[in-house]
Amino acid sequence: MINLQNHTIILASNSPRRRELLEMLGLEFTVIPDTSDEVIAIDLTPAQAVCKLAVKKAINVSRLVSNCGIMENTLLSFPEPENQDATLPFRTPKSAKPDAQDAIIIAADTVVYLDGKPIEKPVNEANAVGMLKRLSGKRHTVYTGVCVLSGTIRSFGAEATDVYFRELSHEEILRYVKTGEPMDKAGAYGAQGRGALFVERIDGDFFNVMGLPLVRLSDMLKSFGIVL
């Protein structure tokens, strides 16, 4: 396992996929999820919307563990990208160093977008069937916002990956939904599970589709003194 010295890492997510990915990297961490409602801002670009959700999760969990009094309005302002589909680069004050006693919180939020509109997690099986029918034979984009927060120091950014589905029959959609795999996943499928049978190709970070872009996260953690 990676020696974190005085740092404690907290994963602000209940996602089994994100836990598996951090474990794969050899990180020791504690899971403290944010249980507040997720509301996707429709007035923001996809990259901005997922960043806002990730930052909100990190702030909520930070308040739970330390009552550090971070104000949301100091963290949730976003520049307007020239390209509305552009991802946001991670941003950290160059001179900032986290306090060794502060926990380092990793938060993420993943949303699937089809034709510029978000497709969230299905609320029931019929909803999952409808989502998969919409994705059938089309390209969609998976956006994941990531925030790393320690005290008042934060870094956030978003990754985008294009996923291409083959044409799906009604019967195979029903069979897949009956497995239960789609029910806790954005877009109603898991590319790391049986949903892989629907994916013709992927352009971008595969781990982003799983819910945590590892290259981007690794770069962000370097700003907090953690080299993977």
pLDDT for 17-36, tens place per residue? 999 999 999 999 999 998 88
Phi, psi for residue 209 in degrees, rounded to 5: -65, -30
User: Distance (Å, rounded) from C-alpha 138 to C-alpha 119?
Assistant: 14
Q: For the domain that residue 195 is a member of, what is the CATH number?
A: 3.90.950.10
Contacts for 7 with CB less than 8 Å, ≥ 6 apart: 98, 100, 103, 104, 150, 224, 225, 226
Q: How far is CA 102 from the centre of its chain?
A: 22
- Ordered alpha helix ranges (H), the chain: 16-24, 46-66, 125-135, 170-178, 206-210, 214-222
User: Distance (Å, rounded) from C-alpha 50 to C-alpha 113?
Assistant: 11
The answer as to whether 124 is a domain residue is yes
**Residue count of the chain:** 228
Which pTM was predicted?
0.83
Number of domains in the chain: 1
Q: Per 3-state DSSP, what percentage of the chain is helix, strand, and coil (rounded to 5)? A: 35, 20, 45
Per-residue pLDDT tens over the stretch 148-195: 999 888 899 999 999 999 999 999 999 999 999 999 898 999 999 999
Q: Within the chain, what is the greatest distance between any pair of CA atoms? A: 56
Q: pLDDT value at position 153?
A: 85
The answer as to whether 3 is a domain residue is no
The answer as to whether 4 is a domain residue is no
The answer as to whether 1 is a domain residue is no
Q: How far is CA 184 from the centre of its chain?
A: 14
% of the chain exceeding 70 in pLDDT: 82
Q: pLDDT value at position 18?
A: 96
Domain boundaries, position 25: 9-222
The answer as to whether 130 is a domain residue is yes
Q: What is the mean pLDDT of residues 203-208?
A: 96
The answer as to whether 118 is a domain residue is yes
Angle made by CA atoms 133, 135, 141, in degrees to the nearest 5: 160
Active site members: 109
The answer as to whether 37 is a domain residue is yes
